[in-house]
Structure 1
Amino acid sequence: MKNVNCRKGKKMKKAVLLDVSAIMYRAFYGNLNFRTKNEPTGAVYGFVNTLMSIINQLNPDYIGAAFDVKRATLKRSEIYKEYKAQRDAAPEDLVAQIPRIEELLDCFGIKKFKIDGYEADDVLGSLAKELGAKGIESYIITGDKDLSQILDSHVNIALLGKGDGGGLKILSTEEDVIEQLGVKPKMIPDLFGLIGDTSDGIPGVRKIGSKKAIPMLEKYGNLEGIYENIDSLTELPGIGKSLVNNLIEDRELAFISRELATIELLNLGVKADELEYKKDDKKLLELFKTLEFKSLIKKMNLEDGQSQVIAQPASQNGMQLGLFSFQGTPEILEEKGFFVLEGVKIKEKLNSDSEIAIYWGEKGVAVSLKNKDYFLPLKDEESKNSFKEVLNSNNKFISYGFKNFLRHGYFVKNMDFDTMLAYHLLTSQTREEIEVMLRNVIEEDVEKYNEVFGKTKIEDISTEDYGRFLTKRTRGMLVAYPELVKELENNNLYNVLKETEMPLIRVLADMEIEGIKISPEYFSKYSLELESRIDELTKKIYEEAEGEFNINSPKQLGEVLFINLNIPPVKKTKTGFSTDSEVLEKLAEQGYEIAKSILEFRKLSKLKSTYVDPLPRMVDENNRLHTTFNQTGTATGRLSSSDPNLQNIPVRTEEGMKIRAGFIAKDGSVLLGIDYSQIELRVLAEISQDTNLIEAYSENLDLHSLTARKIFDLSEDALVTREQRDAAKTVNFSIIYGKTAFGLSQELKITPKEASDYITRYFEQYPAVKHLEKEIIEYAEEHGYVETYFKRKRIIEGINSKNRVIKNQAERMAVNTVIQGTAAEVLKKVMINLYDLLKDKKDIHMLLQVHDELIFEVEKEKVLEYKEKIEKIMRESIQFSKVKLEVNSSIGQNWAETK
């Protein structure tokens, strides 16, 4: 950033003007998981950090803060009723933090502005202009580029998150604004008059974007100039007669849009000394104690450098909802003596009986012992072999993601504790950044790569600098380790980690290393087939639309459907007409052929771009594909996969089966697929102890037909049709997934009343299931979390929300977690048992786990023998009290044949 203090040739007083909404929204979404037992705190925490960063960077003399007001009071809504009408309500957890943010501003002595009828932008612009008239230079901290229209010799615009490393991007000159928006500051309202702003509900002129608007403004200066020369516009590149017609027809909207986009300058009469700010450390300390911002108390030295931080009271309910009661001292991650080790020195220096923390990085491995930190570049074979000897010793190793080591060929004999898995079990969080764990467990803010090195390429960073950066993580792990152990024990989760999650690491690593073979030739042919079908659909859509357009553009598609073809809109969003799948499905039901064609076009395009084309590019030299299985990817405990995601390949559709047909066995082997039969419904029967469910499974009855007889009120000897059985199957699984009557009606294409009747009859057939759901919800309301059959926990956000929509969603989440989470753990335990059986075998490998299905590659002559052994383990590993687990098996040359 330029030396803004001297921009006018002399030292000037400076003011920072805060757009509170912009800052708090960014802070909220950047710190979603922060909360105390009583309230969410992430937006406040992020706001503090942003505020301190701004103060440190700009060193202002004055600070003011502007708040937005309710949309209903805005004068712009009187000009145009759709203005901001489509904006979603602020998240409940964010709204709850606004009073705390106001309290925070009070602690800093920052004057707050909120004026009915006017937006924060108007207030900020007015403050900046008034201060400028007094010779004070202002920096408006905002996320809105359109505020740049007020930039002048005393007013700068500081855009949040747009600078290097995600910091502020300062617009100080006309050239800066042109680079950002393409026009001079004074032209910005005219620009938005033409292009509109969908996020704010500013309409603009149809089919005019920046590329067409900017040349018009460059030539004619403003809207008046454009309309005065309307007949000459076609001389400009890309401006045709249809666009000119849109300009003529939307003339009124263009000028309304410009008015909506123009900052209104108010007479606030503010004196500079009213904006002088002064931090009240005493008030700030009390606020931070309440919000449990222990690291901020230390960082800001609010307790005069006292070493003891504020302890958090333990939860009365056992589960601490992702919070920890760490009591430590400042500078806990202070360097303990840093060394770079290579060759045989690795083995010599890392001989230790204490815990050793290790962390994998792109340039090498960080290692921390009790009193020393090391970085191992591992550039030569001697270093690698020396490190392998260390890992094969009796030392206890701690890491954050042991699988990284196993995937790179390093066997770790004693994987004692994976802090990533421990943190996931305690918090139900699916974010994998180690910095998040360290921040929440030991209250230490460890900087991320871009915060330390910016955009510097990793190869250009010195070994020592990178090593010091990485060892902060291993040092942090050693500090976090006892805290995590304590919390796991307090919450009865230590056994879940040690008996299920830790052993599963080796299982998944072996599966990932082995990979599964695919046929690139098959996928190439299928890609051409899809391309041909997509081309045919494209032509059909153009015919139905009576013209060509970008089918992948929601905006253009909306215009075609709801303006050109005059189809009645189904729903609108803040960006215009909705064209999501729900809308298109409704239109298809109403008989609109174009909607059916677009749905098919989207489905085939997604399959082609997500699987058929990318998969052959991801194989190794043996045409084997190596996915990554994630233990922390879901809050329920189910495994997820990525790079590529094989869990989302469509199930039981023609296209899904065709993709699976490209996954093949190597020569001399076959694929063996074994999956559990209705495992989630069997889990439901066991946990609910519903007599009718248990009886159905003990007598091997067809549960879906049994349910169909009840919901369709059929007699014992009446035939259950295929359609009735399929509907009953949907109802059975809908109960697990917490689907509402409306959701069920949408899926079955029936009325909500019929769907509600189905659900009522279901619970009449299985009354204990209804009682179980009630018990689960009440438990979640009291404790804030639920437990699976095997005592894994999941925190249920929003379970006590006053917002009915949020609470209903939380209730569905609670019920689903208990059932689906238990089923997932059955799979994990079985996979561990199977691994123990198969790990030293050369004639069989476990390759994939997808939902309730396991895929093995087996030598042909051994497949029946292994099939029998695996089925036995899958049936008998988990012994429920009343319900037996059953499996289905298939053998084939490709994955499709095992279904």
Structure 2
Amino acid sequence: MQKAVILDTSAIMYRSYFSLLNMRNKEGEPTGAVYGTANIISSVIDEIKPNYIVATFDVKRKTLKRTEKYENYKANRKPMPDDLVVQLPLIEELMDSFNIKKFKVAGHEADDVMGTISKNLSKQGIEVYIITGDKDIAQLVDENINIVLLGKGEGKNRFKYIKNDDDVIEYLGVKANLIPDLFGMIGDTSDGIPGIRKVGEKKAIPLLNAFGSLEGVYENIDKLTEFKGIGKSLVQNFIEDKELAFLSKELATIKINLDIKIDLNEIKYKDINKKTFKKLCQNLDFKSFIKKYDLDKIDESGNLSLFNNDNKEFNNKKLNNKEKKVVFINNSNEINNLIEKLKKLEEEVIFLFNGVAFLFLIDDNIYYISYKHNYIGAQNIEKSEIQKIFNLNKKFVTYKFKDILNERFNIKIGFDIMLAHYLLYANLKDDLDTLIFNEIGEAFESQKDIFGKTAISQLEKEKLADFLSKRILALKEIYKIVLNKLKKENLEKLLIEIEQPLVPVLSNMELEGITLDRGYLSKYSIELKEKIEQLKKEIYKIAGEEFNINSPKQLAEILFIKLNINPIKKTKTGYSTNVDVLEKLVRSGEKIAKYILEYRKLTKLLNTYVEALPKLVDNNSKLHTSFNQNGTATGRLSSTDPNLQNIPSKTEEGRKIRRAFIAKDGFSLVSFDYSQIELRVLAEISKDTELINAYENDLDLHAITAMKIFDLETLEEVDSIKRNIAKIVNFSIIYGKTPFGLAQELNITVKDAKEYIDKYFDKYKKVKDLQNEIIKFAKENGYVKTLFDRKRKIIGIDNKNKNIKNQAERMAVNTVIQGSAADILKMVMIELFDKIVDNKDVYMLLQVHDELIFEIKDEKLEEMIPKIKEIMENKIRLQNVKLKVNFAYAKNWSEAK
């Protein structure tokens, strides 16, 4: 039997978008929806092997015929995310590359298009597979039509197949033909289908199974109270909402008779157009597809080529040359011979380190040194022997020097390709293989693809050498490319003076670590568990039964079916119980919602910090985080494994967690925190006299702003509530928050929020001028710069879509201010490390946004605190504003605030 695949493009691209939210190409453009869609299509073709394939698309809501019948149909749908909107043309281009015919019908949803095409093909005896994530599509199931549900597979199966009525009943509780009747009763908030008030699946399904249809239910309306959970008040809802119920059934019924002509020759699957698909993959950095479909062998005309990239200087045959020589270094004599070769080398020393081995490149010969191999018979070279190489007076070039420094090697940083690439493409989070693909188009098989779950240290050196040798050859070519780009973009100074000097600082901090009081956390864990158990009892008491509070489905049943609370939001999978919903229920007086929010907060703290952190310490109870220089697009540092920058600082629970971070005996923790550094940078760049005057006279800027936006005459009239609102407004300007966003944060009307923002700009006029200047610069140049010439490309600033354009403008303004503050902190950290940190009396341990945490010997506190404060305030001297640092010290982090 021939097979046909029908793609529910909307469902596929939305699922892909949210699964790969942060995926971007090297230009910083969002690509996750396109990649995920391509991956799903590729998997579907591999698994189902269709003879025919089509893609269906939705039209705008306001043009739908269903809205003529019911104006609220899909009215509550949130607008498509901006980052998805910009990917729509690319998704259509993707369909063209796969030679998939696209179908869209004016006035009708993709569901109706799928319904019509699937029934047409089914009548012709073709087996149909509809690829979707929407359960209501299951009403189309017949002897030839199957539903393939995205992300619902079990075990190794990627998809869940619904092939007959038994499968539909297992999935939804009713037969395929009763799905419209089901939605007629329960409604669907996500689609704006009203249904009958307070009727959910638990009540609707038994009625439909008993009476056979919605019509049957109403014919037996006098018998409904015989069913569990249905009382007279609910029967009254059935009576009053009868018209809505039948309207809902009609809205939920998929059309199968649209005027669509199906030519089997036009929808026949013909394999991909490798030329266009290659171009798309190169533009979007989809290296896995280039490898899967051998696109690297296709030239511009669509024919096989000896080159697999657009960089004419680089021939990838070099990378795959099986005759390349790998020399294994086995002893100190061979190390000495390698050193002699390196001495004669007139160019930079290109090397690679992956945690267990070093590779050095000399005239395309690769010298391999085992360092931490762990298989039987492994012959590792002593660290002291390898150090002799790094003692050479040479310029060393590699990817990520911090990994070598963290092994406690002493090496002078020559050129860090990772950091250079980051400065060029700040929007892109990458690894070595991604960097290689970005620069020369070579897509290597990943470690996981080749070696599976085998640890890299367990691999024999011959296998690992083959894996790494291609990468070091590529690294040599990339070095030349990246260096030239860096010079062209005037970013070499930033690399040499800020990013590379910061590497040993961060390595030192990571190696030192911070002491964790495990005993204290153990006690706090008991306290938290007691609070959580008490909350569970309160929740169960109101619910009238025990259930899994962590299960959204069970929680929704308790809240909106058993307790009969009016639901706030409904999705395809049921009633929503997310934070927004629960907060609205709290405001409406539902105590159970308050307890659930508190329960979620405490369980997250328990699982993320209180029980997790003690498992990560070393034998000395030290916790070692990793600081990432390429983790954010603005230049800020990020922290991972564990992330210590996200520990709450303003809640009692968060402060109790910080209490576990302690100083070692004879030392104290000292926190140095920049006072409003981003607002001071704003004052400096904007040259706003009101802001500058406030900082010159050491005034409370938040109180002054409160006076301005509340039309007060004296500071004495400013209370804590007004000051807090003003504080939020001050920082909202930096982050480009809209009136809608500010209204949500302050829980006020959008009108009031807009008034606050308008008054702010009226009083601080040059801030608005600065924003306009930054946006103008971004439009003219495609990027913005910080005070210290860090660049970030701004995507979408000229986009016709207003939301995308506004988002890009906010990003531009925020980057200039936050990026400048980040640069200041980095330069200060370098100065402090050079002048203060001596690994005996003073240790720099943590950097958390605008705060630096030191560990200082108690008898040195009086001497060192003023020195550190002086450097932090005066290393970078702004022209118009003085930087200010607050400090506090104690035996634990919580009290050092």
**Which one is further off, 456-465 or 616-625?**
456-465
Matched ranges for 1:89-100 at <5 A: 89-99=79-89
In the other structure, the counterpart of 1:738 is 736
In the other structure, the counterpart of 2:618 is 620
Question: Which of 309, 327, 330 is the aligned partner of 1:343?
Answer: 330
CA distance in structure 2 between the aligned counterparts of 1:346 and 1:176, rounded to whole angstroms: 70
Q: Alignment partner of 2:867: what SS? A: helix
In the other structure, the counterpart of 2:389 is 390
In the other structure, the counterpart of 1:235 is none
RMSD: 5.2
In the other structure, the counterpart of 1:776 is 774
CA drift at 1:767: 2.5
Matched ranges for 1:206-245 at <5 A: 241-242=228-229
Q: Give unmatched runs, 5+ long, in structure 1.
A: 1-11, 231-239, 312-324
CA drift at 1:705: 3.5
Residues 1:273 and 2:265 aligned together: yes
> Is the contact between residue 65 and residue 108 of structure 2 (CA under 8 Å) also seen in structure 1?
yes
Seen in structure 2, the aligned counterparts of structure 1 residues 53 and 531 have a Cα distance that, compared at 3 Å, is closer
In the other structure, the counterpart of 1:3 is none
Residues 1:429 and 2:427 aligned together: yes
CA drift at 1:254: 11
> Is the contact between residue 64 and residue 111 of structure 1 (CA under 8 Å) also seen in structure 2?
yes
In the other structure, the counterpart of 1:812 is 810
> Is the contact between residue 285 and residue 438 of structure 2 (CA under 8 Å) also seen in structure 1?
no
In the other structure, the counterpart of 2:520 is 522
Matched ranges for 1:78-97 at <5 A: 87-97=77-87
In the other structure, the counterpart of 1:300 is 298
Seen in structure 2, the aligned counterparts of structure 1 residues 339 and 200 have a Cα distance that, compared at 3 Å, is farther
Q: Alignment partner of 2:855: what SS? A: strand
In the other structure, the counterpart of 1:692 is 690
In the other structure, the counterpart of 1:237 is none
**Which one is further off, 595-604 or 654-663?**
595-604
CA distance in structure 2 between the aligned counterparts of 1:475 and 1:448, rounded to whole angstroms: 16
CA distance in structure 2 between the aligned counterparts of 1:476 and 1:175, rounded to whole angstroms: 55
User: What amino acid maps onto 1:371 in structure 2?
Assistant: D
User: What amino acid maps onto 1:886 in structure 2?
Assistant: K
TM superposition score normalised by structure 1: 0.79
In the other structure, the counterpart of 2:888 is 890
Question: Which of 361, 371, 379 is the aligned partner of 2:364?
Answer: 371
In the other structure, the counterpart of 2:223 is none
CA distance in structure 2 between the aligned counterparts of 1:585 and 1:493, rounded to whole angstroms: 47
Seen in structure 2, the aligned counterparts of structure 1 residues 110 and 769 have a Cα distance that, compared at 3 Å, is closer
In the other structure, the counterpart of 2:401 is 402
Question: Which of 97, 103, 113 is the aligned partner of 1:113?
Answer: 103
CA drift at 1:433: 3.4
User: What amino acid maps onto 2:530 in structure 1?
Assistant: S
CA distance in structure 2 between the aligned counterparts of 1:245 and 1:447, rounded to whole angstroms: 65
In the other structure, the counterpart of 1:476 is 474
User: What amino acid maps onto 2:401 in structure 1?
Assistant: F
User: What amino acid maps onto 1:623 in structure 2?
Assistant: S
Seen in structure 2, the aligned counterparts of structure 1 residues 561 and 510 have a Cα distance that, compared at 3 Å, is same
Q: Alignment partner of 1:274: what SS? A: coil
In the other structure, the counterpart of 1:499 is 497
> Is the contact between residue 177 and residue 184 of structure 1 (CA under 8 Å) also seen in structure 2?
no
User: What amino acid maps onto 1:341 in structure 2?
Assistant: F
Seen in structure 2, the aligned counterparts of structure 1 residues 102 and 673 have a Cα distance that, compared at 3 Å, is closer
TM superposition score normalised by structure 2: 0.80
> Is the contact between residue 797 and residue 808 of structure 2 (CA under 8 Å) also seen in structure 1?
yes
In the other structure, the counterpart of 2:671 is 673
In the other structure, the counterpart of 1:702 is 700
In the other structure, the counterpart of 2:800 is 802
Q: Give unmatched runs, 5+ long, in structure 2.
A: 221-226
CA distance in structure 2 between the aligned counterparts of 1:552 and 1:289, rounded to whole angstroms: 40
User: What amino acid maps onto 2:856 in structure 1?
Assistant: V
CA distance in structure 1 between the aligned counterparts of 2:672 and 2:171, rounded to whole angstroms: 57
Residues 1:438 and 2:474 aligned together: no
- CA distances 1:862-891 after superposition (whole Å, capped 9, x unpaired): 222221221222122111112222222222
Seen in structure 2, the aligned counterparts of structure 1 residues 152 and 788 have a Cα distance that, compared at 3 Å, is same
CA distance in structure 1 between the aligned counterparts of 2:610 and 2:515, rounded to whole angstroms: 14
Question: Which of 52, 55, 58 is the aligned partner of 1:65?
Answer: 55
Seen in structure 2, the aligned counterparts of structure 1 residues 36 and 732 have a Cα distance that, compared at 3 Å, is closer
**Which one is further off, 729-738 or 74-83?**
74-83
Matched ranges for 1:256-335 at <5 A: 270-276=262-268, 284=276, 298-303=296-301, 304-306=303-305, 328-329=314-315, 331=317, 333-335=319-321
> Is the contact between residue 537 and residue 601 of structure 1 (CA under 8 Å) also seen in structure 2?
yes
Corresponding pairs, count:
866
In the other structure, the counterpart of 1:648 is 646
Residues 1:413 and 2:411 aligned together: yes
Seen in structure 2, the aligned counterparts of structure 1 residues 149 and 568 have a Cα distance that, compared at 3 Å, is closer
CA distance in structure 1 between the aligned counterparts of 2:298 and 2:635, rounded to whole angstroms: 38
User: What amino acid maps onto 1:339 in structure 2?
Assistant: V
CA distance in structure 1 between the aligned counterparts of 2:148 and 2:389, rounded to whole angstroms: 51
Matched ranges for 1:39-54 at <5 A: none
Q: Alignment partner of 2:895: what SS? A: helix
Residues 1:607 and 2:605 aligned together: yes
Identity of aligned residues (%): 48
> Is the contact between residue 520 and residue 616 of structure 1 (CA under 8 Å) also seen in structure 2?
yes
Q: Alignment partner of 1:822: what SS? A: helix
- CA distances 1:406-459 after superposition (whole Å, capped 9, x unpaired): 33x142513333333233322222533333333332223333344445667768
User: What amino acid maps onto 1:65 in structure 2?
Assistant: A
User: What amino acid maps onto 1:688 in structure 2?
Assistant: S
CA distance in structure 2 between the aligned counterparts of 1:837 and 1:459, rounded to whole angstroms: 38
Seen in structure 2, the aligned counterparts of structure 1 residues 86 and 665 have a Cα distance that, compared at 3 Å, is same
CA distance in structure 2 between the aligned counterparts of 1:655 and 1:714, rounded to whole angstroms: 36
Seen in structure 2, the aligned counterparts of structure 1 residues 340 and 746 have a Cα distance that, compared at 3 Å, is same
> Is the contact between residue 289 and residue 310 of structure 1 (CA under 8 Å) also seen in structure 2?
no
In the other structure, the counterpart of 2:843 is 845
Q: Alignment partner of 1:896: what SS? A: coil
Seen in structure 2, the aligned counterparts of structure 1 residues 136 and 770 have a Cα distance that, compared at 3 Å, is closer
CA distance in structure 1 between the aligned counterparts of 2:71 and 2:135, rounded to whole angstroms: 23
> Is the contact between residue 368 and residue 471 of structure 1 (CA under 8 Å) also seen in structure 2?
no
CA distance in structure 2 between the aligned counterparts of 1:31 and 1:550, rounded to whole angstroms: 29
